[in-house]
Amino acid sequence: MADPLRHKGPSGRNRRADPAPTFHDEERGLGGALSALLVETRSVMPAAGATGASLMLVVAAMCFLASLALGAAMSVGAKTNEWSSDLSGALTIEIRPSRDMAPDEQIDAVMTVLSRTPGVISASPLPLDDTKALLEPWLGRGMVTEDLPLPRLIDIRIDAATPPDLSALAIDAAAAAPGASLDTHRQWRAELMSAARSAEWLAYGILAVVAGTTIAIVVFATRAGLSANREVVEVLHLIGARDGFIAAEVQRHFLHLGFRGGSIGTALGAATFFALGLAGGAGDMFLIAASGLAPEHFPVLLAIPFAAALVTLVTARLTVFSTLERML
């Protein structure tokens, strides 16, 4: 019977067929290498047990939390910069009722001052109904009555490149109309920036905790896998395998596991931010507009699967060497 492993080559002579390519000897491009990370490879580490699907789900959950923390930090940072830019280019003049001048005369006097102030781009008095709408969330609906003395507000837009002299503007406005005062929003901007920076640091702190937890889980799983396969490791040493070979086999397993889990978790995180953006844009269901993530932020999340793969790979390699020193 003919050997099925032999076939005739170009010269007509029989020769033994080449073995099927494996992960170790197959040449891959960049796309093939990335797709190969999603396919389980042969390894001394079994695919079941503490290093199998259950661990991949845990890594996916950790990466999901990491994507939420990173996305929240980027979203808060972008929104803070937007608000800060808006507040830095806006001023408000509040005109309280006075016995010396009528409200309309007070507004006209302040508008005259603003029209000749360099650096002021535009100024528009807010209608009285808008002022009532601003007070209703604080006083309650229907509590803002006609006999309640309400201040008049003037919204001012200034040139951020060449802003006006705010001290001189405040003095001129107060001199032109009794009861007029300038609000530069500096206190609001400082409090907003402080709260936003705290939220960003909290998000990055959660990201660090998630990374540390993932490292601890991989260390435990690697030690458990090596302990469960102690006999396999001893046999490999008896046939001449070195620690580097065993570490390479184990880290390859965790490389694939980390990338698969990271891809699943990141995909869920991106879907969450996408749904949050749709829900926030559909109605006033949040205290602030929930815009999810900006389109330029989503590519940043793609770094999470690669980071997860790198963390699991390095952690597994270091754990293998330290564990083998105690086992053998």
308 within 8 A of 262, measured Cβ to Cβ: yes
User: What contacts 236, CB < 8 A, 6 or more positions away?
Assistant: 44, 245, 246
Residues in the chain, how many? 328
Closest CA to 304 of 269, 266, 268, 272: 266
For residues 212 and 199, give the distance between their C-alpha atoms in angstroms, rounded to a whole number: 20
Q: Can you read off the two tokens belonging to residue 85?
A: 């830019």
- Per-domain residue ranges for the chain? 42-83+191-327, 97-178
- What are the pLDDT tens digits along the chain (328 aa)? 444 444 444 444 444 443 433 434 444 555 555 555 555 555 555 554 555 678 888 889 999 999 988 888 888 888 777 777 766 678 888 888 888 888 888 889 999 998 888 888 888 888 877 777 777 767 677 666 666 778 888 888 888 778 888 888 889 888 888 888 888 777 677 777 788 888 888 888 998 999 899 889 888 888 887 777 777 777 777 787 787 887 887 888 888 888 888 999 999 998 888 887 776 544 443 334 445 677 788 888 889 999 888 888 888 888 888 877 776 5
pLDDT at 321: 83
pTM: 0.63
309 within 8 A of 59, measured Cβ to Cβ: no
Closest CA to 104 of 154, 64, 174, 141: 154
Place of tokens 């009861």: 179
Parallel/antiparallel/unpaired status of strands 152-158 and 120-125: antiparallel
Percent of the chain with pLDDT over 90: 7
Kindly report each contact of residues 104-107 with a partner whose C-beta sits within 8 Å and lies 24 or more positions away, as own/partner. Answer: 105/177, 106/152, 106/177, 106/178, 106/179, 106/180, 107/152, 107/154, 107/177
Instruction: Tell me the three state secondary structure of residue 259.
Output: helix
